[in-house]
Chains A and B, each alone.
Chain A
Amino acid sequence: MSTSNTAREAFRDIGTAIAAVWWGFFDWLALVSWKSLVLIWVLVLILGGVLHRPLTALILIVVSAIIKIIAGGKRRADLTASEATRRAEMEQLERTAVEARMQALQAQVEPHFLFNTLASIDQLIQTDPPRASKMQQSLIRYLRSAMPQMREGSRPTLGQQVNLCTAFLEIMAVRMEDRLRPVVNVPEGLKSAVFPSMMLQTLVENAIKHGLEPKTDGGRLEIGAAIVDGQLTVHVQDTGVGFLPRGEGGVGLANIRDRLKALYRDRAELIIGVPATGGTCATIKVPYEIAPVST
Chain B
Amino acid sequence: MALLLHLSILDFDMIKKSLLTASVLIIAYWLYVTFVPVNTRGQSFYQANSIRTEQFIFQEQICRKVIVGTSLSLMIFQDSLPSDFYNLSLAGMSTFDGLRMLQLSQKLPDYIFVEINGLLKKENPHYFQKTLTTPSYEIHKYFSFTREENFPAIVTTSSLRKNWYPYLKNYHVPEGIFLEFIQGSKIMIASITEQQLNESVNILKSYTDYFESKGVKIIFFEMPINHSLLEEPNTFIFRKVLYKNFPHDRYSYITYNKKVKTMDGLHLTEKEGMEYSSFFRKEVERQLELAIE
- Report if A and B associate in a common complex: no
